[in-house]
Structure 1
Amino acid sequence: MLDFETCYRAMSSRDPRFDGRFVVAVTSTGVYCRPVCPSRTPKRPNTRFFVVPAAAEAAGFRACRRCRPESAPESPEWNVRGDLVARALRLITAGVVDEVGIGGLARQLTVSERHLHRQMVAELGVGPQAFALNRRAQIARLLIESQALSLSDIAFAAGYSSVRQFNHGIRAAFGRAPSELRNGSAKVDCTGPLVLRLRYRPPLSAEPLLGWFAERLLTGVEAVDDGEYRRTLRLPRSTGWVSLRIGADAVSVRLHVSDLRDTTAAVQRCRELFDLDADPDMIAEDLGDDPLIGPLVATRPGLRVPGCADGFELAVRSVLGQQAARRLVHRWGEPVAAQPLTHVFPTPDALAEADLAAIGLTTRRADTIRALARAVCDGDLRLDRYADRTDTVARLLAIPGIGQRTVGYVAMHALGDLDAFPSGDLGLRGAARRLSGTSSRLDERSRQWRPWRSYAAMHLWASLP
């Protein structure tokens, strides 16, 4: 629950550490703002605080036109947590409600709609439907201002079922019609990729992030060149490709999708790939005093935990290695024409019964990949940030050929568990030995770094020559 005095002091001092953690609503103006808004500080009796913008909108407030609450980074709290509400918010943010509705969302979380609504209202002050409406309006505004699509195309790309619903939603959220949010000089051009800007909390250490992807590059599926990361995407309704380039306070994105309704899911994949919702200052504050990790944090401020575009792909690649994964892609991947990208990674269906010996895999490794694919196809295993982390880890360990190291790697980069720490990894042990003279009791020592053990692992890996 929000503490009024803490929030009011944070707002009065324009403390950037609280940006995205709550919004400030002013009853005298009917507007809600970010806590860093440069407008005059409202009087205490006129001030209300909400955990998420959707709750402020549900209470009748509209977004401030000066500080733009919809452009604030997401609260990092939802990345750390793995409970029901956090998983629900991540699913809604990825556009699941647009695909399957509130009932489908509840089924994916294996709870009733009523229970989900009750839990979200208790913690956020708003239910899943209102949160989905707010997220839809945010995506719509991102597209209106960043890409010269027609407004009708934007309406459906953002998840609205009609132009009338789109107009009403934008007016309710921002107090203006969609056409008023657009620069009048923008020209409609539906032939090129979507061009977007995704904001993050600085600093962001770009070189180690791009280096991580470059060292593990899967040719044909992804590419790193001249400070830009490109890769193909498999989305709920279509396939596409994306390129990301890191700027001073935002990541520039060029996105090509064959079905605009996949825009919301693609935007969320991009945020996860570069860990854009992290709070580097909070992480540095917690890890900075540690004698082993502290100096590494000071050397690489803003180091992120790279995500993945597809959890199944990440798991398969962690089992196979680069060379075998490349052969797998060229044999069973879906071709695309986006040079230098040539393929989308194979689906679980394509690999569940595939003759993997044809690309030189051993029987044991082939059996592991097929078992992994069948578990995903059957719905027994979910490898994304919306899964129950404890259940997913147990199911992965039950697959022959998958050990603790692979599970820890998947937990970090696919499940988004920022407290995962694969202590048995030889690279981590080598880094610890190089820095402190010993790697014994590394797992025990890592408990001091909770809940940021994944960031500690990234700093250890980055310290290796």
Structure 2
Amino acid sequence: MSATYQQARLSRDPRFDGKFFVAVKTTHIFCRPICPANLPLEKNVEYYELAESAILSGYRPCLRCRPDSAPDSFAWQGVDTTLNRAIKLLKQYPELSINEITTKLGVSPRYLRQLFQHKLGMSPKQFQLFNKVLFAKRLLHESQISVEQVAMASGFSSSRRLQSQFKKITGLTPSNIRKVKSVSMPNQNINLKLNYRPPYHWEHIKDFLFLRAIKGIETITDNSYSRTFVIEQEPGWFKMTFNPKHTYFDLEIKLNNLSHLRSVIMNIERLFDLKADPVAIHNQLLATGLAKEHLVRGLRLPGVWNCFEAGCRAILGQQISVKSAISLLTKLSENLAEKHQTLAYFPSASAVANSNLEFLKIPNSRKQTLIDFASYMQNNEKNPLNHSIDDLILIKGIGPWTVSYVKLRGQSSPDIWLDSDLIIKKQLAQYKISPQKAEPWRSYLTLQLWNLA
């Protein structure tokens, strides 16, 4: 891979941003491959697939290209399921201890340490610490929240602990990073930049989400998407504005409890599929037999906020048009939405489970399926890792298509093949392709065939 990395570094190819990092031996600094600094000689560089690995080797993050702001790499997806889940949990819940993480994973601390050491060359504790420091650095660069709030959002027990670890790992203090005066922001919004790898087909994802937007909860303009959400009983709001010139989205978040900030950001990145490698996916889809002119370049999987919302959309959308399904979803929200001040939020599983849904003009059997689904999600929402979406098939009225749809949009699973979908069946009759050759990106093939229809 070093030859590929060398070529990408020399050309500053943005398609490789976040997939690897360039460490310069003479300066002891590591950069993104798109860094605008003068290019070092090849003999003076080392390549790392993870920013945390570069830190472990003694390199400091560049202050110019800021490796902390690079789009996350999916290099480890498919390598080891337990490792992938562990990395996700360590990033998403920085406040949790390693023992709490292993409990959620159902493995022993010793096994997890061995797994990380074998695959990444570092311990889970080191990975977690480096990741927390990188996230704190990002907040210090881009937001105006106080150092105390940065510590809370990045999972440190105190600002003193943050400053100590920050100095030890980066060689800098938070005050060295800050260029503007920090202010406490209990009621102000946080602004960040979320990078992606080009190309990114915003028009497609915008039109897809616009057609399925729930009035009062989601708002879509020519260049932005915004919505309300609830996380751990905490209400929030965000707005994503497409900025193609700089290959990032401008993100604005309103969230009172900053301990949930990292989880919210990761979910937004999933919702807009910012970790995707569009070039690799495009080439894989070409292998199925689809012609170049039939493929949307830069296609992304448009997600929804969580699996409960995705399930409601799937159940209410069974065997009816998208327009009719959104009409039912809007009615569901109008009657059961949570209200905080002037904003409405998608109904909770509890609200749906405890309603007779008499306001919905659908068969009673469909109502009961929705109620049973909501009851199941309510019973498991406190332990989302301890149940499988596949278990939804046990609920009367839920079939394989509904389960797959929840995975496709609620979890953004990349390899969901909806071959039982009526539109997909019609497209397969028209286009002679080999769907199995799209693995592990069959979700994108599903979306491409929907688009062709």
1:223 aligns with 2:219: yes
Match of 1:203 among 178, 199, 204: 199
Q: 1:82 to 1:60 in 2, by over 3 A?
A: closer
Counterpart secondary structure, 1:356: coil
Question: Is 152-161 or 267-276 further displaced after alignment?
Answer: 152-161
Q: 1:134 to 1:308 in 2, by over 3 A?
A: farther
Kept in 2, the 8 Å contact 1:304–1:455? The answer is: yes
Distance 2:196 2:376 in 1: 35
Which amino acid in structure 1 is aligned with residue 374 of structure 2? A
Q: 1:205 to 1:5 in 2, by over 3 A?
A: closer
1:294 aligns with 2:295: no
Q: 1:240 to 1:79 in 2, by over 3 A?
A: farther
Q: Residue by residue, what CA displacement relative to the aligned partner does 1:322-345 show, whole Å, maximum 9, x if unpaired?
A: 23322322333211345xxx4222
The residue number in structure 2 matching 1:214 is: 210
Q: 1:190 to 1:310 in 2, by over 3 A?
A: same
* TM-score where L is the length of structure 1: 0.86
Q: 1:142 to 1:323 in 2, by over 3 A?
A: same
- 1:119-158 alignment to 2 at 5 Å? 119-158=115-154
Distance 2:67 2:105 in 1: 28
Distance 1:416 1:81 in 2: 18
Distance 1:430 1:337 in 2: 47
Kept in 2, the 8 Å contact 1:288–1:295? The answer is: no
Counterpart secondary structure, 1:421: coil
Q: 1:393 to 1:147 in 2, by over 3 A?
A: closer
The residue number in structure 2 matching 1:350 is: 351
Q: Residue by residue, what CA displacement relative to the aligned partner does 1:4-56 show, whole Å, maximum 9, x if unpaired?
A: 66655655665555432233334443322334444443564x65443321222
Counterpart secondary structure, 2:149: helix
The residue number in structure 2 matching 1:56 is: 54
Distance 2:237 2:42 in 1: 48
Q: 1:333 to 1:103 in 2, by over 3 A?
A: farther
Which amino acid in structure 2 is aligned with residue 463 of structure 1? L
Shift of 1:68: 1.8
Match of 2:265 among 242, 264, 267: 267
1:462 aligns with 2:451: yes
The residue number in structure 2 matching 1:193 is: 189
Shift of 1:252: 0.8
Shift of 1:164: 0.8
Q: 1:62 to 1:457 in 2, by over 3 A?
A: same
Distance 1:213 1:245 in 2: 14
Distance 1:87 1:424 in 2: 29
Counterpart secondary structure, 1:245: strand
Which amino acid in structure 2 is aligned with residue 41 of structure 1? P
Distance 2:363 2:173 in 1: 60
The residue number in structure 2 matching 1:368 is: 369
Distance 1:332 1:428 in 2: 33
- 1:16-95 alignment to 2 at 5 Å? 16-37=14-35, 38-41=37-40, 44=43, 47-78=45-76, 83-94=81-92
Taking every aligned residue pair, what percent have the same amino acid on both sides? Answer: 28
Shift of 1:67: 2.9
Q: 1:146 to 1:393 in 2, by over 3 A?
A: same
Match of 1:306 among 302, 321, 342: 302
The residue number in structure 1 matching 2:322 is: none
Shift of 1:457: 1.5
1:281 aligns with 2:267: no
Kept in 1, the 8 Å contact 2:337–2:345? The answer is: yes
Counterpart secondary structure, 2:380: coil
Kept in 2, the 8 Å contact 1:80–1:418? The answer is: no
* TM-score where L is the length of structure 2: 0.88
CA RMSD of aligned residues (A): 2.8
The residue number in structure 2 matching 1:452 is: 441
Match of 1:107 among 103, 106, 109: 103
Q: Residue by residue, what CA displacement relative to the aligned partner does 1:221-251 show, whole Å, maximum 9, x if unpaired?
A: 2121342211111113611011111111101
Kept in 1, the 8 Å contact 2:349–2:374? The answer is: yes
Counterpart secondary structure, 1:378: helix
Shift of 1:141: 2.5
In structure 1, list runs of 5 or more residues that go unmatched.
Answer: none
Shift of 1:418: 0.8
Shift of 1:79: 5.4
Question: Is 275-284 or 166-175 further displaced after alignment?
Answer: 166-175
Q: Residue by residue, what CA displacement relative to the aligned partner does 1:119-173 show, whole Å, maximum 9, x if unpaired?
A: 1221122233222223322332232222222222222122221011111233234
Count of residue correspondences: 442
Which amino acid in structure 2 is aligned with residue 322 of structure 1? I
Question: Is 450-459 or 362-371 further displaced after alignment?
Answer: 362-371
The residue number in structure 1 matching 2:321 is: none
Q: 1:24 to 1:110 in 2, by over 3 A?
A: same
Q: Residue by residue, what CA displacement relative to the aligned partner does 1:241-286 show, whole Å, maximum 9, x if unpaired?
A: 1111111110111110121221111111111111011111221222
1:254 aligns with 2:255: no
Kept in 2, the 8 Å contact 1:418–1:453? The answer is: yes
Distance 1:185 1:162 in 2: 20
Kept in 2, the 8 Å contact 1:80–1:417? The answer is: no
